[in-house]
Amino acid sequence: MRKPSLYKSFLNALRGVFLMAGSERNFKIELFVFFINVFLIFYLKLSATDAILILIVSFGVLGAEIFNTAVEKLCDIVQPDFDRRIGFIKDISAGAVLLMAIASVIVGIVVYWKYVFIQFSTFLSF
């Protein structure tokens, strides 16, 4: 089988992201939070280092969700009926997303705390 061109590979990957955004509820929520983070990066004028940290964990959550969905879809094809072994695989895949989401919340608190504090103290000084 011949490999697709680099351009076609990128289009296929982008199509996968759009398929996720169009069909998966959790991905839609995580994408919404991602755009809130992008807005906050500019609104709060985060430093480059802080912005990169926020973007890394945000993309990490989105990527983990894509992998989780791929594992779940594959498991459903392999075993459409209930199977505790498949349930175990799905649970640990979802657990990876949960751990990444927890890490992103922790990073978000650490990074945003100082910016929100500065905004709040500036607001009180008026």
The catalytic site residues sit at: 65
Half-sphere exposure of 27 (CA within 13 A, CB side): 18
**Which 8-state DSSP code applies to residue 81?**
S
Cβ neighbours around 27 below 10 Å, total: 21
The answer to whether the CB of 88 falls within 8 A of the CB of 120 is no
72 is in an annotated binding site: yes
Spatial distance between the Cα atoms of 91 and 2, rounded to a whole number of angstroms: 36
Residue 30 counted as an annotated binding residue: no
Say whether 81 counts as a known binding-site residue.
Answer: no
Show binding-site residues for substrate: 65
Show binding-site residues for ATP: 24, 72, 90-91
Show binding-site residues for a divalent metal cation: 24, 72
